[in-house]
Amino acid sequence: MAQAPYVKACINGARTPDQHAGLPVSPEQLAAAAVAAHGAGAMAVHLHPKTADGVDSLEPEIVGAAVSAVRHAVPGLPLGVTTGFWALPDPQRRLRTVEAWTVLPDFASVNWHEPGAEELAQLLLSRGIGVEAGIFHADAAQAWADSEVAPHCLRVMVELGPDGTTEIADDLLARIARAQSPAPMLLHGLDDSCWPLLAHAGARGVQTRIGLEDTVLLPDGSTAPGNAELVAAAFEVLASVSR
């Protein structure tokens, strides 16, 4: 039997509640969204811990509450969080804050173009937290390939913006493949590029992700009720690519 595609749910991202009425913010909302996404077939969940007003935070108590709630609701589901520089735009403070986490996620994403990315990845690995390397462009791909962390990543993600194309995606995937890291590759887009690049990930046989972080719209252009519907639609798109 053909192996099912790997789809991770990115359930909120840096979006704010004004962008989607159902955006999960509180620990309880994140837990409910994770349960729903997993029920629709998601094999892992990535989330952005947030303050009560919907702003991304890396503070230990905020991260701990979010991770604990999701773990309790969906035991065993691989769970990752952001370390986005926008949430704490100071490399040393970000390191100290992540070092102070007391409830640890299974993995964390590190955007390789951000200041202090390699040092942060090394800290995460030293704490037993898997590293997802986020690659946004060719320079980041090269910096990641040249790093000591490249052979030890859990996953390498090609992350493209709304104007991302399949040609750019293929170039970055090829650059990453040349590094010969054992980490699987994941491809995803954002807003306008989200569904075309998800289909391309299926055609290329790499992992992908979907959720309110990447788009608030279903493939037909209608607003998605929530993450579960996006995950279900992703599997439909991927099934059509494989036919």
pLDDT tens-digit series, residues 44-66: 999 999 999 999 999 999 999 99
Is pLDDT above 90 for 217? yes
Give pLDDT, residue 116.
98
Per-residue pLDDT reduced to its tens digit, 113-130: 999 999 999 999 999 999
Domain containing residue 64: CATH number: 3.20.20.70
| Residue whose entry in the numeric block shows the structure tokens 């370390």 | 83
Residue 157 lies in a domain: yes
Q: Contact 188/217 with Cβ under 8 angstroms?
A: no
pLDDT in tens, 13-45: 999 999 999 999 999 999 999 999 999 999 999
CA distance 191 to 207: 18
- What is the rounded average pLDDT of the residues 201-211? 97
Expressed as residue numbers, the domain containing 194 is 7-242
Average pLDDT, rounded, for the chain: 97
| pLDDT value at residue 243 | 63
Number of domains in the chain: 1
Taking the C-alpha atoms of residue 49 and residue 54, their distance in angstroms, rounded to an integer, is: 9
Residue 2 pLDDT: 53
User: Where does the pLDDT of residue 1 fall: very low under 50, low under 70, confident under 90, or very high at 90 and above?
Assistant: very low
Q: Stretch 226-234: mean pLDDT, rounded? A: 98
Residue 144 counted as domain residue: yes
C-alpha to C-alpha distance for 23 and 104, rounded to whole angstroms:
23
CA atoms of 218 and 157, how far apart (whole Å)? 22
Residue 191: Cβ within 10 Å count: 14
Of the candidates 122, 50, 51, the one whose C-alpha atom is nearest the C-alpha of residue 82 is: 50
pLDDT of res. 111: 98
Q: Is residue 88 a contact partner of residue 114, using CB atoms and an 8 Å limit?
A: no
Residue 1 lies in a domain: no
**How far is CA 175 from its chain centroid?**
20
- Residue 2 included in any domain: no
Residue 40 placed within a domain: yes
Give CA–CA dist 124/105, Å, rounded: 10
134 part of a folded domain = yes
Banded model confidence at residue 4, pLDDT cuts 50, 70, 90: confident
Q: Does residue 222 form part of some domain? A: yes
Q: Where are any strands of DSSP class E within the chain?
A: 7-10, 44-47, 79-81, 107-111, 130-135, 155-159, 185-188, 207-210
Q: Is residue 145 part of a domain?
A: yes
**Average pLDDT in the 135-163 region?**
98
Please report which helix (H) or strand (E) contains residue 64, including its range. Answer: helix 60-73
